Amino acid sequence: MRRFLPIAACLLALAGHARAADEPAIVPSLIPQPASMQVGSGSFAVDANTTISAEGDAALRVAERFNGFLSAAGKTPLRVLARPVDEQEQGASAIRFRLDTSSGGRPEGYALDIDTDRIDLVAHDEAGLFYGAVTLWQLLTQGEAGRAVLPTLHIEDAPRFPWRGYMLDSARHFQSVAQVKKLLDTMALHKLNVFHWHLTDDQGWRIEIKRYPKLARIGSCRIPAGDAGVDAATGKPVRYCGWYTQDEIRDIVAYAAARHITVVPEIDLPGHATAAIAAYPRLGTEGRKIPVTAFRGIHSNLFNVEEGTFRFLDHVFTEVAQLFPGEYIHIGGDEAIKDQWKASKPVQAKIRKLGLKDETALQSWFIHRLETILQAHGKRLLGWDEILEGGLAPDATVMSWRGIEGGIEAAKQGHDVVMSPTSSMYLDYLQTDSPNEFPGRPAPRLIPMDKFYAFEPVPAQLDATQQKHVLGLQANMWTTDNRSFAGVEHNTFPRLLAVAETGWTPKERKDYASFLRRLPAWTHRYEALGVGYARTPFEVIADAALLPGPGDSPQGDALVTLANPLGYPIRYAIDGAGTDMPKLEYRKPLRIKLPARLRAVALAEGRIVHPVQRFDFSRTGLLARTDEQLQTCTADGPVLRMEDDGPATGVRALYNVAIMAPCWQWKDAPLQDIAAIEVRAGRLPYLFNQRAEEDAARKYLPAKSAHGELDVRLDSCDGETIATAPLPAEAGADGFATLRAPLARELDAPHSLCLRFSGDFRPRMWVLDRVTLSPTP
């Protein structure tokens, strides 16, 4: 380890690497935060003259990958010398990458020293050398084009957890090989090391199995519901297909391995089986031909428990095991609704023959059979926490998603655990209240950045021995609602940085305030890499409401509330068409005269984190609300931000919908001097499972006419009917219908409104796009 040089020594740095006296070194903005970092007072500049000495094959591989990441971020690669350098060459080779296998360092750990005359990166294994290079890459991408002035520092670093995971659902929606590789690159730069790949589900089978070609040819294709499933020109069905060939999978696995990422495939069993049964009906409990579904939600289709099914699974896992060299294969095991098993005479006979108590015990027996198959192929079984039910297979590892309770129970039983709870690690839940969020689940909860960051994978209920079974944590990107790769990136980044820091950084080193200060540097990296990260956490969100009374202007006054989802300070200006940087510090809601134009921006450490936004406020504009600006008025079932079913390609409208009892609420609507309510309504296919118990929970407002009505109630959904209008049989050619409903009486104060559409909303439902209050002429 080299000692820091005194500050005066920085003036004696090597030719081509000295910095100007007035050129400050960067302040490191590293995520994840290193385990230990001491920053000195000198500096070292990296520029086009800097070279890398890569000592040995492993160091050379890391240096080449490092240069690849520099190029991807728009930086100039450095010249690599594939050998140690002698004293005469020291001036030409200022960075040294080397392995020291005798050092006894921790797996994936490294030491990085930056002095005034050189940079040393040393690690015990190649993964550690790679992660040290990632740290250096992060430092260099804070600098200007072609040059970065780094502070002298010493880092000793290693990850807290061996499992730092990210799951991608390719079954619900398919991503290209190039898109998967892009995610792997970005994972590597976050120091994540497990890519959990969800490859089969009810909506698609995405992996080629040579012995059973119909799994890909039939099981990977479905007909989308609604307009997206029909060719507008011919009226014929349009199939949505996609699968990965075995050559493509080998390519992706090798690509991941080169970035020190292990790929864990998931073949979901015994539920989530519709696509497999569609390809081979004999696998199903009912033995009938079924299509691959376009519906979301939990399906009742299960694999049967015949010996032929286990032979099929053995053949499938033979090929899967050959494609994925990692330790684990994930077998799902979640959400296996037992209705079909309960109704099947052969299954019930099997339960009696095996002497099992019930269908839950049968699933445990099923999982044990799978573990035996996987062990024969040299693999360990990993499954969602439902595999605990009925008794856990001896060598199984649990991925706890229904909270952390399953993980606690598994660790107490001596099983390894990966923590991945819905409440803190699910990326398909929306991250802010912004109307600019992509499709996903906005309710009953958001999962903003601070909640991701606060998650602690090791429960206090576990003793020291049990805590060792917690391998780490994983964030899951389910794609039920995200048709586009842009949606995947938006929902994943930058929240994955919070997961990365928890997975890597010692618990005592985590600091959310520091994380927020370091976060903006990553937005620049994302932009340089072309990663479509979410801008919504960096936005200013403005909410405005008309104030009662005439106010100080002909249009009245409004109260404007500004917020930034990450809590960054906000500056604003109310100045019409002004273009300068807003200077007023936002402290409390603003009373403004209408009409008004407001500009606002959020700042981190005095630097803007999102372009200046402009908001135009007028009385007419504040008499309208989109569905994103309204609240749902029921606690019955989930709320989703859903895409329209057309057009087939391109941008689609989005709707916030409470799917079990659709209704929308406008709190404190300014109803004084309002004569009518106008609603723009869209129509969506009802893409949800219709199992009997779920159907019983749906709530319909009885229709009074052939096609139902728009129903508007005062103060609550059980309140006075204040307006109504009949619904048409169909939407217009643009997919929308505009309904105008006169108010039943005059109102002289604000009231809350509950807006619903009556009638059984299946197989298509009306959804609210926009509501406008029409003043009395």
Asked whether 177 and 485 are in contact (CB, 8 A), the reply is no
Q: How far apart are CA 161 and CA 325, in angstroms?
A: 21
* Rounded distance between C-alpha atoms, residue 157 and residue 22, angstroms: 31
DSSP string, 532-574: ----GGGSPEEEEEEPSS-TTSTT-EEEEEEE-TT---EEEEE
CA–CA separation, 489 vs 387, rounded Å? 30
Element (H, E) at 184: helix 177-189
DSSP annotation of 262 reads E
Which residue do the tokens 């730092």 mark? 164
- Residue 422: in which H helix or E strand, if any? helix 422-425
Give the separation between CA 417 and CA 3, rounded to whole angstroms: 41
* The two structure tokens encoding residue 271: 């539920």
Burial class (CB within 10 angstroms; exposed 0-12, middle 13-18, buried 19+) of 297: middle
Peptide bond preceding 506 in cis form (omega within 30 of 0):
no
Q: Please name every residue paired with 166 in a beta bridge, in sequence order, or none if there are none.
A: 195, 475
Give the integer Cα–Cα distance in Å for 614 and 573: 10
Sign of dihedral through CA atoms 571, 576, 581, 583?
negative
Q: Is the dihedral of CA 606, 608, 612, 617 positive or negative?
A: negative
Instruction: Please identify every residue annotated as catalytic.
Output: 335
At which residue do the structure tokens 């027996």 appear?
Answer: 365
Return the amino acid letter for 450.
Answer: D
Q: Which residues contact 707 (CB under 8 A, 6 or more apart)?
A: 726, 727, 728, 729, 759
- d(CA 776, CA 587) in angstroms, rounded, equals 36
613 in Cβ contact with 539 (< 8 Å): yes
DSSP code for 580: S
Q: From CA 494, how far away is CA 448, in angstroms rounded?
A: 10
Which letter does DSSP use for residue 193 in this model?
-
CA distances to 403, 412, 468, 470 from 463, rounded to whole Å, are 19, 9, 9, 11
SS (H, E, C) 291-310: CCCCCECCCCCCECCCHHHH
| Tokens coding 147 | 């040059």
Which amino acid is it at 454? A
Q: CA 118, CA 93: separation in Å to the nearest integer?
A: 8
The Cα angle at residue 141 between residues 135 and 145, in degrees rounded to 5: 150
Mapped onto helix, strand or coil, the DSSP state of residue 650 is coil
Tokens of 352: 């009696």
* DSSP state, residue 386: G
> Tokens 């103060």 appear where?
715
